[in-house]
Structure 1
Amino acid sequence: MSYAAYVFDAYGTLFDVHAAVRRHAAAVGPDGQLLSEIWRAKQLEYSWTRSLMGQWRDFWALTEEALDHAFARVPSADKSLRAELLDAYFKLDCYPEVPAVLKTLKATGARVAILSNGSTEMLASAVKNAALDSVIDDVFSVDALQTFKTDPSVYDMVTTAYRLYPDAVSFQSSNRWDVAGATKFGFRTIWINRTQMPDEYLDLSPSLILPDLNDVI
């Protein structure tokens, strides 16, 4: 079945969130993976906490704060690399299959879009760095709402902009919590389970689980 729009989460789905630390792995030191994992976990935790308390800070500010926390937790990591790591995060690599998959979807005539917690500037930089400008129709950032996923209003940005019912949208995310929110909203959902994590939110199951984006269509 084809869909009127294929909408993708950005971080972890199209763009490799661990690429920044990996790019500077030798300089960061032996605990680089731990640093990267804490950085990502805190980035997400801060977004959820801020949403619940109604205290907005954009995703870039949270990304900076999360990195500072990760450095505090991993004293072996070289803190002098802060600026380099943030620059690398601003220009994250996309996963290898992404350009071809998006190009194929674009050729079907469907809309291809990003729906992300990322700030407008972060997303523009990532899309440009990965040379995805020609295959992405729209980039929806939560900056417009000043709240984060899984607030239903975030998913509604797509249906309102495209004047579609939710079931006309196929939504892809590597984040299981994001898939749960999109499923509850009414999207057809695909969980891109890149790291073979166990399923959760069993009452909000995705339509499909894939190891990468290759079989999205």
Structure 2
Amino acid sequence: MFDSYVFDAYGTLFDVHSVTEKLEEKYPNKGDAISQEWRRRQVHYFMIRQLIDGYLPFDQITQNALKDALQINQADFHSGDIEKLMDAYLHLQPYEEVDNVKDHLPDNSLTIFSNGTPSMLQPLLENNQLEHTFRVLSADEPKVYKPAPAAYAYAQKQLKIADPENILFLSSNPWDIAGAKSYGFTTAWVNRQKIQWPSLDVEPDHIFDNLNDLK
């Protein structure tokens, strides 16, 4: 057992591609391509912002990535379309086993540590009736994105746990697991797609098929 269980949000607890249905309604036969490009650019853009020490809130990065994903897929849009699709990000679907997480760990405090802003994360939890399950920590507070070491240091400080190895950090994103492991957290890679771990010269401590392995 660990002192704290910390979860990434996007792609780990919530399916970022559950926006595909909304995208498909507006842009038939382009929904999946737009969703995939949206996510790729979202990650790419916050990585760049971190590297150039030019922090921009995650909601703005997400909106910029959406606009570029639409443009690259030749999907016309206006401000109202962007607003509706950004709202869809507040209604992402949790993976089916997320509701069971609290049952597996009834006596433990569960925390989300995400690059998302509180204004994105709190409505997302509330819209899925999970606001009483998870405490929220956001990289927007120190304004340092994961996977920078300072981001995980912030989370550890907020959790008030002296030994980072007593924190189990779970993410489906290899870059996030690599960052957390390099910092000193114990890590569990949630590998739903059953892909090969990339050659990052750092390995996760555990590999889970999904969050039901957290028992």
Q: Could you say which TM-score interval applies, normalised by the shorter chain? A: over 0.9
Alpha-carbon distance between aligned partners in 2 of 1:174 and 1:86, rounded to the nearest angstrom: 22
- 1:130 Cα deviation after fit: 1.2
Residue in 2 aligned with 1:6? 5
- 1:86 Cα deviation after fit: 1.1
Query: Contact 2:23–2:35 (CA<8 Å) still a contact in 1?
Result: no
Provide structure 2 residue ranges, at least 5 long, that are not aligned to the other structure: none
Query: Contact 1:116–1:141 (CA<8 Å) still a contact in 2?
Result: yes
Alpha-carbon distance between aligned partners in 2 of 1:78 and 1:195, rounded to the nearest angstrom: 32
Residue in 1 aligned with 2:115? 117
Alpha-carbon distance between aligned partners in 2 of 1:103 and 1:73, rounded to the nearest angstrom: 43
Query: Contact 1:21–1:85 (CA<8 Å) still a contact in 2?
Result: no
Query: Contact 2:41–2:65 (CA<8 Å) still a contact in 1?
Result: yes
Alpha-carbon distance between aligned partners in 2 of 1:48 and 1:132, rounded to the nearest angstrom: 28
- 1:202 Cα deviation after fit: 4.3
- 1:91 Cα deviation after fit: 2.0
- 1:172 Cα deviation after fit: 0.4
Alpha-carbon distance between aligned partners in 2 of 1:205 and 1:32, rounded to the nearest angstrom: 34
**Identity percentage of aligned residues:** 35
Provide structure 1 residue ranges, at least 5 long, that are not aligned to the other structure: none
- 1:79 Cα deviation after fit: 2.5
Aligned: 1:206 with 2:199 = no
| TM-score normalised to structure 1 length | 0.92
Query: Contact 2:104–2:214 (CA<8 Å) still a contact in 1?
Result: no
Query: Contact 2:172–2:191 (CA<8 Å) still a contact in 1?
Result: yes
Q: Residue type matched to 2:212 in 1?
A: N
Which residue, out of 165, 188, 206, partners 1:190? 188
Alpha-carbon distance between aligned partners in 2 of 1:32 and 1:23, rounded to the nearest angstrom: 8
Aligned: 1:151 with 2:148 = yes
Query: Contact 1:196–1:211 (CA<8 Å) still a contact in 2?
Result: yes
Within a 5 Å distance, the mapping from 1:15-26 to structure 2 comes to 15-26=14-25
Alpha-carbon distance between aligned partners in 2 of 1:82 and 1:103, rounded to the nearest angstrom: 37
CA RMSD of aligned residues (A): 1.4
Within a 5 Å distance, the mapping from 1:1-150 to structure 2 comes to 2-75=1-74, 77=75, 79=77, 81-105=81-105, 107=106, 109-136=107-134, 138-150=135-147
Alignment size in residue pairs: 212
Query: Contact 1:6–1:110 (CA<8 Å) still a contact in 2?
Result: yes
| TM-score normalised to structure 2 length | 0.93
User: What is the CA deviation profile of residues 36-78 of structure 1, one whole-angstrom value per residue up to 9, with x for unaligned ones?
Assistant: 0110010011101001111111000000000000011101x35
Alpha-carbon distance between aligned partners in 1 of 2:86 and 2:158, rounded to the nearest angstrom: 31
